[in-house]
Amino acid sequence: MKKTSTRLADGRELIYYDIRDDTVRTAADPRPLPPVATTSEIRHDRLLGDDVAIASHRQARTYLPPADECPLCPSRDGRHTEIPDSSYDVAVFENRFPSLAGGSGRCEVVCFTADHDTSFADLTEEHTALVLDAWTDRTAELSHLPSVEQVYCFENRGVEIGVTLGHPHGQIYAFPFTTPRTTRMLDSVARHHTATGRNLFDDVLADELGDGTRTVLETDDWAAFVPYAAHWPYEVHLYPKRRVPDLLALDDAARAGFPAVYLELLRRFDRIFGPGAPPTPYISAWHQAPFTRPAERAGFGLHLELFTVRRTPGKLKFLAGSESGMSVFINDVPPEDAARRLREVAS
What pLDDT score was predicted for residue 90? 98
Other beta carbons within 10 Å of 276:
6
Q: Which domains does the chain carry?
A: 2-175 (3.30.428.10), 180-344 (3.30.428.10)
Q: What is each CA distance from 224 to 186, 256, 263, 301, 342, in whole angstroms?
A: 21, 16, 12, 14, 10
Cα-flanking dihedrals φ and ψ of residue 187, to 5°?
A: -65, -40
What pLDDT score was predicted for residue 64? 85
What pLDDT score was predicted for residue 37? 84
What pLDDT score was predicted for residue 253? 98
Helix residue spans in the chain (DSSP H):
125-143, 180-196, 200-211, 252-269, 294-297, 326, 335-344
61 — pLDDT class (breaks 50, 70, 90): confident
Written in H, E and C, the secondary structure of 12-36 is CEEEEEECCCCCCCCCCCCCCCCCC
237 is in an annotated binding site: no
269 — pLDDT class (breaks 50, 70, 90): very high
Read off the pTM: 0.97
Task: Quote the DSSP letter at residue 343.
Answer: H
What pLDDT score was predicted for residue 56? 86
243 — pLDDT class (breaks 50, 70, 90): very high
107 is in an annotated binding site: no
Q: What is each CA distance from 138 to 151, 170, 182, in whole angstroms?
A: 9, 13, 20
Structure confidence by residue, pLDDT tens digits, 150-177 = 999 999 999 999 999 999 999 999 999 9
73 is in an annotated binding site: yes
153 is in an annotated binding site: no
What pLDDT score was predicted for residue 102? 78
Active site residues: 169
Q: What is each CA distance from 153 to 26, 110, 212, in whole angstroms?
A: 27, 9, 29
